[in-house]
Structure 1
Amino acid sequence: MEETPTHSPYKVLIVDDSAIVRGLVTRMLAEDAEIDVVGSVKNGEEALAVMEDGGIEVVVLDIEMPVMDGLTALPKLLEIDPTVRVIMASTLTKRNADISFQAMTLGAVDYIPKPSSSKDLNVGEGFRAELLDKVKAWAEQRRKMLEVEHAAAAAQKAEASPTPPPSEPAPEKPARSEDETADSDGEDGPAGGKANAFRAEMSVEHQQLQKQGRIQRKRFTAELRPRPMQRQQPVQMRPMPQQPQHPAPGAQPASSSADGGHASAEKVASPAQESRAATPSRDPGRLIRDAAIAAGGQAKTAPKVAARSATPSQATRTAPQPKRPVAPPPQKSAAVRQARSGSAPAPAKRMATRGGISLLPEKRIAVDAIAIGSSTGGPQALFEVLRGLNGVRQPIFITQHMPATFTTILAEHITRLTGLKCQEAQNNMPIVGGQVYLAPGDYHMTVEGRGGGRHLMLNQNPPENFCRPSVDPMLRSLVASYGGNILTVILTGMGQDGMLGGRDVVNAGGMVVAQDEQTSVVWGMPGAAAHAGICSAVLPVGGIAAYVKKFAGGR
């Protein structure tokens, strides 16, 4: 506890009929300064009473309980607060795994397998680490989503405010339109103040989040049809402005974006997040992204700092600013030449096209295999991506961080919900085009052989990236078998699994596409790949299937 969290603790409710389990789980969470366990109850009915008081961000919900079980309580909890994140907790049985997946179709966001006995629970360091990671990740994801919603509402108010209602005096509008510079300064002052006050009021303990219908829950469920997502076209995004605008003192540059991958979203969200700018990132994936930027990319906030530090008295310093954009063109051509030669250019050599993320040029490859890696939030993302891959002729290999038994259920749900035949991998299983192969829990899945003799192999080699199954060994084996004819997709998840294997894919001549931050539950794995400079595209989850089909074909 050397560092005190600078943000308010995440509010968590524990629901389990076992007093021993409740006590142990409560203690595990309460030991972390970033978490506040606001309640610990023994059934769903008591959980509903606690939820009525408001303020709960995450519920850890048991399945089998007297009075009201978890599956019955789940929709009632979401009815009280559609934004609450519910994590199902169950022992590792096939029946409970199946119920957990049913719960995810009803609105639960994740699951966590409980050890089969209280003794195992007490000494289960792995369970504790997974519990803390998932509670924090989902609570933080909820806060980010709400910040975007609040900022969007504030922006709409700000946009509406310059237009005077019929009752307002007419002269005000001409006065504003005559002098745009003075007008924008005047508008930013009052409008910005109102917007900031609105956001501050809405963000304190999220007191307004309990209003039904005010904020819609952002989630993926297995039964949902593919829905329109953020439609930014990352590859077509223009580079960051070569010369920052110079607003009046105190005015905020409207076009600056800390993350080019979500330029339009952050134009709205950045004012609401400004007060949190000094707060260290609580997204586990951002640690990897920041490390990658420090190792090989420009600081994402450099243009913002330069713009804010400029004052009227420093007008003489504006001349050197055009020198900054002059350097990237040679870097871009060098990066393109290196990419075309088949090797991934070093991050320091690339042009930072979007807030520190550089994209490799797309290339036409003969795609013989599709590989997908995912972790936290992965099942929902997998369902959405795979629905759009019906008709592909290539085999699809998936490594999802998930324990045994749960992978069996996941394979069944993929088959039922996507129309693609999915199987858990087995030793020496021959590979057939158009089928999906899922790495079983606790085993690394690899591919051996070439041509028609390719087959799957499983092993229990040491975990990589703290995971087994792991994405990296799967990708290495695919490169050895298919060479560069691989299209790899990195979906939502903690850590950086898939980044090193993805680099091998790119070095061999293949391509990598990552899920964007806006639609990721945790932008760890895809963020690591994006900031390593190995991606040809960073896309919302709803656009990944179409991108894959563009290169892999399909009927």
Structure 2
Amino acid sequence: MNSSTTGNVTKSDNAYRVMVVDDSAVIRGLLTRILESDPNVSVVESVPNGEVAVKRLGSREIDVIVLDIEMPVMDGLTALPKLLEVKPSVQIIMASTLTRKNAEISLRAMRLGAADYIPKPTSSGALTKASDFKFELVEKVKALGQVARVGKKEPLPSDSAAPRKPKANLVAETPTSLYPNKQISLRKEAIQKPDLLAIGSSTGGPQALFDVLGNLGVISQPVVITQHMPATFTALLAEHISRVADMPSKEGEDGEVLKGGHIYLAPGGYHMVFEIKGTDTIIRLNQDPPENFCRPAVDPMLRSLSKIYGSRLLVLILTGMGSDGLRGSEVVTAAGGSVIAQDEQTSVVWGMPGAVATAGLCSSVIPVKEIASNVRQLVLRSAA
């Protein structure tokens, strides 16, 4: 496949193929221009509702669909399972304005098979100016496009960044498709009984969190989570976790004391870090600059926890794009703490867990369905 030029952008070989589904022609045009600004992305279909999307998908090669929620004829939630039935390998990003209702629908959509979500600015004018939205949309499309290609064994765009070289002293030599030049490297140190469980997740994270926390049961340790999400979503996610878990779940509040057997989720728009006050661990929320383009981010959470818990800290890095959690996990393991990563086969995107797994930071790399039982054995055993 030869490169081509769209507008002023020369497309790379094998650019990711995208379908945009939105009932507003103006919004479809804006989304198309944003996506087409990247040489690795090509919008090959732009349609006004879910019914047309289902019909077109059967006759076109599509890697990623950006799917609006509220549309006439057939809305996004109705179209979602039909699209996945037509083409199971396609990756779907739900797009909607950031309301509680749409956030609730997006969480339902992810449980039905959507890979990710993105909150749209409230107007076409705001969308045109929203640089964060543009960056997030393009990066999510490219990350999920890669997932679709790997699943179908198709070539990636010709100018994709080459992965870094693996570290030495490998223990488990398991090549991975999203990190083709890397291998999983496992740590041999024994895991101490943890005093706190910390979890980092992003793309595909809600379902992974439901799987892990829904099967963990009641533990005496606090559980703290950073999931990449905007504010309305994190509040709803905490509510959903409470429904599936045997422990209460809520967004963390500034100045709040951590309690054992409780789950605390970083609020959207805030980094959640921790400090010691007397014998208590206190939540501190801040709006320091984003890290890894994220706020909340996993790295600052892990750095602060490592100072408090040292070798008594257990970290889970679940599915997600990018590498947030890598630097924080380096600090955790240097202090004697332990890291477990979700494996590639059960991750929506093996970016975050893949980064720590191939950097030699993990004690184990396991399927999401095995994580809860593994963690439960560690947290319930007698103190080391």
TM-score category, normalised to shorter length: 0.7 to 0.9
By how many angstroms is 1:98 displaced? 0.5
* More displaced 10-residue stretch of structure 1: 411-420 or 353-362: 353-362
SS at match of 1:367: coil
Higher share in strand? 2
By how many angstroms is 1:440 displaced? 0.5
SS at match of 1:65: coil
**Aligned length, in residue pairs:** 367
Give 1:64-143 correspondences, 5 Å limit.
Answer: 64-143=70-149
Structure 1 residues not aligned, in runs of 5+: 148-202, 204-275, 298-349
SS at match of 1:137: helix
Aligned-pair Cα RMSD in Å:
2.4
SS at match of 2:80: helix
Correspondence for 1:389 among 198, 205, 216: 216
Answer yes or no: is the 8 Å Cα contact 1:391–1:434 preserved in 2.
yes
- Find the counterpart in structure 2 of residue 207 from structure 1: none
Answer yes or no: is the 8 Å Cα contact 1:450–1:482 preserved in 2.
no
By how many angstroms is 1:442 displaced? 0.8
- Find the counterpart in structure 2 of residue 257 from structure 1: none
- Find the counterpart in structure 2 of residue 513 from structure 1: 340
By how many angstroms is 1:14 displaced? 0.9
Rate the CA distance shift 1:358–1:450 in 2: closer, same or farther, 3 A.
farther
Give the TM-score of the pair, scaled to structure 2. Answer: 0.88
- Find the counterpart in structure 1 of residue 301 from structure 2: 474
| Residue-by-residue CA offset, 1:290-343 (whole Å, 9 max, x unaligned) | 3252xx43xxxxxxxxxxxxxxxxxxxxxxxxxxxxxxxxxxxxxxxxxxxxxx
Return the alpha-carbon distance in structure 1 between the equivalents of residues 85 and 319 of structure 2: 27
By how many angstroms is 1:543 displaced? 2.0
**Residue 354 in structure 1 maps to residue 173 in structure 2:** yes
Return the alpha-carbon distance in structure 1 between the equivalents of residues 73 and 225 of structure 2: 39
By how many angstroms is 1:450 displaced? 5.6
Return the alpha-carbon distance in structure 1 between the equivalents of residues 254 and 373 of structure 2: 32
By how many angstroms is 1:367 displaced? 0.8
- Find the counterpart in structure 2 of residue 403 from structure 1: 230
**Residue 460 in structure 1 maps to residue 301 in structure 2:** no
- Find the counterpart in structure 2 of residue 5 from structure 1: 12
By how many angstroms is 1:437 displaced? 0.6
| Rg (Cα) greater in structure | 1
Rate the CA distance shift 1:500–1:82 in 2: closer, same or farther, 3 A.
closer
SS at match of 2:235: helix
Answer yes or no: is the 8 Å Cα contact 2:196–2:223 preserved in 1.
yes
**Residue 426 in structure 1 maps to residue 253 in structure 2:** yes
**Residue 59 in structure 1 maps to residue 65 in structure 2:** yes
Specify the code of the residue in structure 1 equivalent to 2:50.
G
* More displaced 10-residue stretch of structure 1: 89-98 or 504-513: 504-513
Rate the CA distance shift 1:389–1:117 in 2: closer, same or farther, 3 A.
same
| Residue-by-residue CA offset, 1:248-274 (whole Å, 9 max, x unaligned) | xxxxxxxxxxxxxxxxxxxxxxxxxxx
Answer yes or no: is the 8 Å Cα contact 1:292–1:532 preserved in 2.
no
Rate the CA distance shift 1:120–1:4 in 2: closer, same or farther, 3 A.
closer
| Residue-by-residue CA offset, 1:344-396 (whole Å, 9 max, x unaligned) | xxxxxx34542543321141413100011111221222222222211222111
| Residue-by-residue CA offset, 1:430-456 (whole Å, 9 max, x unaligned) | 211111110011101012216742221
Identity %: 53
| Residue-by-residue CA offset, 1:77-106 (whole Å, 9 max, x unaligned) | 233333322211001111110011112222
Answer yes or no: is the 8 Å Cα contact 2:110–2:204 preserved in 1.
no
Answer yes or no: is the 8 Å Cα contact 1:514–1:538 preserved in 2.
yes
Specify the code of the residue in structure 1 equivalent to 2:326.
M
Correspondence for 2:326 among 492, 499, 516: 499
By how many angstroms is 1:13 displaced? 1.2
Answer yes or no: is the 8 Å Cα contact 2:68–2:95 preserved in 1.
yes
- Find the counterpart in structure 2 of residue 38 from structure 1: 44
Rate the CA distance shift 1:531–1:3 in 2: closer, same or farther, 3 A.
farther
Return the alpha-carbon distance in structure 2 between the equivalents of residues 69 and 376 of structure 1: 22
Correspondence for 2:20 among 1, 11, 14: 14
Give the TM-score of the pair, scaled to structure 1. Answer: 0.62
Return the alpha-carbon distance in structure 2 between the equivalents of residues 461 and 17 of structure 1: 37
SS at match of 1:484: helix
By how many angstroms is 1:17 displaced? 1.5
| Residue-by-residue CA offset, 1:122-157 (whole Å, 9 max, x unaligned) | 12121111111222222221232234xxxxxxxxxx
Specify the code of the residue in structure 1 equivalent to 2:249.
C
- Find the counterpart in structure 2 of residue 291 from structure 1: 164
Return the alpha-carbon distance in structure 1 between the equivalents of residues 150 and 345 of structure 2: 9
Specify the code of the residue in structure 2 equivalent to 1:143.
R
| Residue-by-residue CA offset, 1:447-505 (whole Å, 9 max, x unaligned) | 22167422211011111222111111111111222232100111122222112211221
| Ranges of 4+ aligned residues in structure 1 off by more than 4 Å | 1-4, 278-282
- Find the counterpart in structure 1 of residue 315 from structure 2: 488
Answer yes or no: is the 8 Å Cα contact 2:191–2:337 preserved in 1.
no
Return the alpha-carbon distance in structure 2 between the equivalents of residues 54 and 71 of structure 1: 21
Rate the CA distance shift 1:504–1:3 in 2: closer, same or farther, 3 A.
farther
Return the alpha-carbon distance in structure 2 between the equivalents of residues 353 and 481 of structure 1: 31
Rate the CA distance shift 1:83–1:125 in 2: closer, same or farther, 3 A.
same
Rate the CA distance shift 1:531–1:57 in 2: closer, same or farther, 3 A.
closer
Rate the CA distance shift 1:76–1:516 in 2: closer, same or farther, 3 A.
closer
Give 1:306-325 correspondences, 5 Å limit.
Answer: none
Structure 2 residues not aligned, in runs of 5+: 175-182
Give 1:170-249 correspondences, 5 Å limit.
Answer: none
SS at match of 2:199: strand
| Residue-by-residue CA offset, 1:149-169 (whole Å, 9 max, x unaligned) | xxxxxxxxxxxxxxxxxxxxx
Return the alpha-carbon distance in structure 2 between the equivalents of residues 500 and 458 of structure 1: 20
